[in-house]
Structure 1
Amino acid sequence: MPKFCANLKWLFTELPFLDRFDAAARAGFQAVEYASPYEFSAAEIRGRLRACGLRQVLFNTPAGGGSGMACVPARRDEFRDGVRKALDYAADLDCGLVHLMAGIVPSDLSRDTAAAAYAANVAWAADQAEPAGVRLVLEPINQRDVPGFFLRTQEEGAAVVEAIGRERIGLQFDIYHCQVAQGDVTRRLEALMPAIAHMQVADVPGRNEPGTGEIAWDYVFRRIDELGYAGWVGCEYRPATETSAGLGWLKRFSA
């Protein structure tokens, strides 16, 4: 079985955010991820991590009121400020991965123009992250959940990774988004594994915990293991009922 971290945006939402750290530790998780730390000081979050014995694995760059800004030329300065802020938090939280959010292509902007802005912004961000000891990750998101999101397929994300360099940037392979947008999950894992720096899971179609939908998780988890993936897998799913009650899938699939 891969090593799983709790996504605190999605899990334990019956509790205030800062109380979710302790809940994750009590549930047996050793690491956490989430979308945004910026509503709290880094010191507050660092204190919770240390008190609970948790590792910070991943968080996102600022969303800019939506799904990111990297593909939007008019928001370049805001994007750069957000990257600097994310890297400051990453240093304070000893977090080695930051998801660089691509954003939604504005309706009045051509995809070519958005692509040029995205390429320039990702390259600039990688230059900032490397001396900080942070590896950026890029996540393709399906068009059903986030219409207009710039990065649409796993192959698009992997191509950017290869262009900039795997040592500086990686692919965030979300199995839920891949299944919704493209399917053929394990073949894509096999082809793209050298570029993958982080994974996330949720079942399809409801984005609930593994075992509630159509994905054959026994096979998927076995292939991830066989392919030698050593990174974390984020539990970025919507619990079908209450978080703790739904965690039985961890024991079920590991058995």
Structure 2
Amino acid sequence: MPRFAANLSMLYTELDFLDRFDAAARDGFKAVEYLFPYAFEARDIRARLDANGLQQVLFNAPPGNWDGGERGLACLPGREAEFREGIAKALDYAQALDCPRIHVMAGLIPEGKEREAVQPTYVENLRWAAAEAKKAGRDLLLEPINQRDIPRFFLNRQDHAHEIIGMIGADNLKVQMDLYHCQIVEGDVAMKIRKYLPTGRVAHFQIAGVPQRHEPDIGELNHPYLFSVIDEVAAQCGWQGWVGCEYRPARGAVPGGTSDGLGWLRDCTEAAKESE
């Protein structure tokens, strides 16, 4: 069975952010991820991690003006200085939280421009950022995201992400393969796992039911089968990463809403025990 990390931006949202670490640990999670740590002091987050025996496995670099609708700076011409400041801040937090991976959101294609026009900015920003992250011993991740959820998002397909990584050639630049987004944009998810995981360029998975983005036992994807594919391929290629649970509980932000929806995880755990 893959190792699952709780996404604290989407799970346990009835609780204050720092209290979600405790809740995740009580439900048996050994690792966490979330969108952004920057509203909190790194030492306060680290204290919650340590108190609960949790690993921090992923967070995002600063995205620009999130509340104003920005979803990353990497592809935006003229924002290079702000992009670099954000990467430096993310690396500082990664050091303090002992987090090995930082997701760099690509950003929205500016109105009036096409993808091809801003790709050089994206590539050069990532080339610089990967070199800085390499010095700090961190991986940077690229995530293809569907344009139904985020219209005009620059990076949408797995093949494009791998093409970008090939152009840059940095061994610490990798893909965050979100199976929810992959199903919406491309489908054929199991075959894409089989194709890309053995390359060594997939560092992290994320999951959610399609199309509502609820628990992975709700919707059109057969997640138990996909978990078995990940297990099979991981055993062949030596992958030892995490699967982030980046979904919105179907019950919403009510007391116990996340915990009550974890039947899928308990089923996976029982199945893994029976197979031993």
TM-score range, shorter chain: over 0.9
Instruction: Give the whole-Å Cα distance in 1 for the aligned partners of 2:151 and 2:205.
Output: 22
Match of 1:220 in 2: 226
Instruction: Give the whole-Å Cα distance in 2 for the aligned partners of 1:50 and 1:238.
Output: 26
Change (3 A) 1:166 1:186: farther
Match of 2:185 in 1: 181
Answering whether residue 181 of structure 2 is matched by residue 199 of structure 1, we say no
1:220 aligned partner, one-letter code: L
2:265 aligned partner, one-letter code: L
1:35 aligned partner, one-letter code: L
1:138 aligned partner, one-letter code: L
Instruction: Give the whole-Å Cα distance in 2 for the aligned partners of 1:188 and 1:160.
Output: 17
The 3-state SS of whatever aligns with 1:24 is helix
Match of 1:250 in 2: 265
Instruction: Give the whole-Å Cα distance in 2 for the aligned partners of 1:94 and 1:192.
Output: 27
Match of 2:274 in 1: none
| 1:32-71 mapped onto 2 (5 Å cutoff) | 32-65=32-65, 66-71=70-75
Percent identity over the alignment is 53
1:43 aligned partner, one-letter code: R
Instruction: Give the whole-Å Cα distance in 2 for the aligned partners of 1:201 and 1:146.
Output: 17
- State which of 107, 123, 129 in structure 1 corresponds to 2:111: 107
Instruction: Give the whole-Å Cα distance in 2 for the aligned partners of 1:113 and 1:85.
Output: 28
Give me the CA root mean square deviation.
1.0
Match of 1:28 in 2: 28
- 1:253 is displaced (CA, Å) by 3.1
- State which of 73, 76, 86 in structure 1 corresponds to 2:77: 73
Per-residue CA shift, 1:55-105, capped at 9, x if unaligned?
A: 100000001122101000121111110000000000011000000110001
Instruction: Give the whole-Å Cα distance in 1 for the aligned partners of 2:249 and 2:190.
Output: 24
Alignment check: 8 A CA contact 2:127 2:170 kept: no
- 1:216 is displaced (CA, Å) by 1.0
Answering whether residue 149 of structure 2 is matched by residue 134 of structure 1, we say no
Instruction: Give the whole-Å Cα distance in 2 for the aligned partners of 1:47 and 1:113.
Output: 44
Aligned length: 255
- TM-score using structure 2 length: 0.90
Instruction: Give the whole-Å Cα distance in 2 for the aligned partners of 1:249 and 1:110.
Output: 41
Alignment check: 8 A CA contact 1:217 1:253 kept: no
Gaps of 5+ in 1: none
Match of 2:249 in 1: 239
- 1:122 is displaced (CA, Å) by 0.4
Match of 1:148 in 2: 152
Change (3 A) 1:232 1:166: farther
Instruction: Give the whole-Å Cα distance in 2 for the aligned partners of 1:95 and 1:190.
Output: 27
- State which of 156, 168, 173 in structure 1 corresponds to 2:172: 168
Alignment check: 8 A CA contact 2:12 2:20 kept: yes
Alignment check: 8 A CA contact 2:103 2:142 kept: yes
1:163 aligned partner, one-letter code: M
4+ long deviations beyond 4 Å: none
Instruction: Give the whole-Å Cα distance in 1 for the aligned partners of 2:137 and 2:228.
Output: 31
